[in-house]
Amino acid sequence: MYKLRGHHLFCLLGYRGMGYSKEYVENMTKLHQTLRSSPKTLIQLVKGSDQLCEKFPNSGQYHCQDENIYRRDAAILEKMGLEIGQILEWEDIETRVRNHVIPSDIQIVCKTCSWRSYGVCEEGIQDILEGKGLREVK
């Protein structure tokens, strides 16, 4: 079972192998591949730092405890009708995205994220809406 905070549910949809460091990317790619190949993998929703934050490099500005990131987590969980502490399968999270999220939501909930302008997170949501699941990351 993996522990994930709210906004990382969206980050995983748009993940294309970019990240803050080699170690961060390796960790995220591994998780992404697991979810892609085993959509029944269990996810526990947590408050604050999770298994992706653990690999955030010491060198960069550590934003994982910023108030606005907590607000983003909360907004994303609320949008999907999810709560901290809940345990569910990754494919159920994809279903929630399909039922409650549209690509342009990224512009609102992730307003301050530096990755937003790449457009990949909106694409990731669109893929889910079209029933495609997570894209392969090579």
**Inter-residue contact 6 to 48 (CB < 8 Å):** no
- Residue of the chain from 5, 6, 7, 105 that contacts ligand SF4 (CB under 6 A): 7
Amino acid at 44: Q
Which residue reads 């609102």 in tokens?
108
In terms of CB distance, is 100 or 116 closer to ligand SF4? 116
CB of 47 to ligand SF4, least distance (A): 16
Q: Tell me: does residue 82 bind ligand SF4 (CB under 6 A).
A: no
Amino acid at 18: M
**Inter-residue contact 16 to 120 (CB < 8 Å):** yes
Per-residue contact track with ligand SF4, 84 to 113, x per CB under 6 A? ----------------------x---x--x
Amino acid at 63: H
- Residue of the chain from 63, 98, 116, 135 that contacts ligand SF4 (CB under 6 A): 116
**Inter-residue contact 57 to 20 (CB < 8 Å):** yes
Residues that bind ligand SF4 (CB under 6 A): 7, 10-11, 14, 106, 110, 113, 115-116, 121
